[in-house]
Structure 1
């Protein structure tokens, strides 16, 4: 039998285990507010922005225009975003938060903060900073930009 490394020897496996635990708990929290994690990511991307063309939003979030279109349809149906005409392109439109969406983002951000605090409280403040710094290093060195919405 060929010698095969143990799953726990794979950093990617360990990261996925942690990510799944953190993400699943957060998904339950935002579901209580009537949104998905992907919808939260889009709402947060729009927060504090002027109206944005879907193409630009797709680029900002590292998603396809199709994915942005599906998310924006769902969020518009929920009354959390609005579509407006694009003054520079009569065929296009722009997306922005509705008043309800702008009120929802701080609530969801607080859930994200609470989720992180609860999960990562077992690490010291310095360890949490080190973990974030290492993750940012990996993100930067590998040129990662897609929003993690799955």
Structure 2
């Protein structure tokens, strides 16, 4: 009989549990101000990153264009973004933040910094740097994880 897979010792399990722990408190704070992780990421894309086209926003957030369009419609209805059609090409859409969105983005960014700081404080600067480098290394060339199976 082969060795039994040790779930709790596996890298995937440890990374998943840690990621959920990192996300849980932050997502609760986002919900309190009326945002989700995706809407916050879209606000970051359209705000500080100055991305104004939905396709660029989708690439930045890492979600498909259909999910981005759906989120943008909901955010427009909620008064968080304004979408403006292009002057020359009516199929072109530009996205901008409303004043309410800018306020929520500021709140969410403060929560993100606090959450990250809490966990960063558990590591030395060298450990934090090493962890980031290792995570980048694990994600390298992983556009299609099913391809390797």
- TM over 0.5, yes or no? yes
What is the alpha-carbon distance in structure 2 between the residues aligned to residue 84 and residue 125 of structure 1? 44
Q: Residues 49 and 96 of structure 1 are in contact (CA less than 8 Å); yes or no, is this contact kept in structure 2?
A: no
CA-to-aligned-CA distance 1:58-98 (integer Å, 9 cap, x gap): 23333222101111122112211110111231133221211
1:48 CA drift (Å): 2.8
Partner of 1:142: 141
Return 63-72 or 129-138, whichever deviates more.
129-138
Q: CA deviation at 1:142?
A: 2.6
Q: After TM superposition, which residue ranges in structure 1, 4 or more long, deviate above 3 angstroms?
A: none
Matched, 1:20 2:20: yes
Offset of residue 22 of structure 1: 0.7
1:6/1:35 Cα in 2 relative to 1: closer, same or farther (>3 Å)?
same
Between 1 and 2, higher relative CO (CA 8 Å, sep ≥ 6) is seen in: 1
CA–CA distance in structure 1, aligned partners of residues 9 and 49 of structure 2: 43
Name which of structure 1's ranges 25-34 and 59-68 shifts more when overlaid on structure 2: 59-68
Q: Name the counterpart of 1:30.
A: 30
**TM-score for the superposition, normalised by structure 1:** 0.83
Change (3 A) 1:85 1:69: same
**1:122, 1:49 → 2: CA distance?**
29
1:75 aligns with 2:75: yes
The runs of 5 or more residues in structure 1 that have no matched partner are: 145-150
DSSP 3-state at the match of 1:94: strand
Conserved? CA contact 1:54–1:93, under 8 Å: yes
Structure 1 match to 2:114: 114
Aligned residues: 143
**TM-score calculated relative to the size of structure 2:** 0.84
RMSD: 1.9
